[in-house]
Amino acid sequence: MTMMKEIAEEFVALISNLFGRFSELNKGATELSHMQNHVMEFMYMQQRAMNLKEISKGLNVAKQQLTIIIRNLEARGYLTKMPDPKDKRAVLVSLTPKGKEVIEKKWTYIYERFLEKFIRLDEEEQLDFHFALHKLNVLLKKMEDEA
């Protein structure tokens, strides 16, 4: 087997492992559906009001599907809609303070659960883990910048 193939297989295994660990840490973090959470996370990361077209494009979700999700999140008080001053036909969607709080609580919960698992590693394993994460992040960023 070539080194490139081995690396690709290891990378796929890493993604699967990370997804599994994250799913485990994320259990019980929020009562939102997967798609509701996806929309809320995206909005939180953007830190600004956005129109449906921008959200749809950013998440690769059909506007029709997004409309229902946003309506439900608005009804629960997590999002608010207002007219777009640049386009009278469009609305801008933004997180409410309650919406921001839900996302921040979720990440605090995940962080605490991660620490519970991380402290099971001995000091050398923790150092190895830290170095491996740092190195992987640096290399992935380098691959992105050179593309």
Which amino acid, one-letter code, is at 103?
Answer: I
- Ordered by start, the domain boundaries in the chain are 28-146
pLDDT digits (tens, 9 = 90+) for 24-81: 888 888 888 889 999 999 999 999 999 999 999 999 999 999 999 999 999 999 999 9
**With contact defined as beta carbons under 8 Å apart, do 74 and 81 qualify?**
yes
Burial call 85-111: b when 16+ CB within 10 Å, e when fewer: eeeeeebbbbbeeebbebbeebeebbe
CATH fold for domain 28-146: Arc Repressor Mutant, subunit A (1.10.10)
| pTM > 0.95: yes or no | no
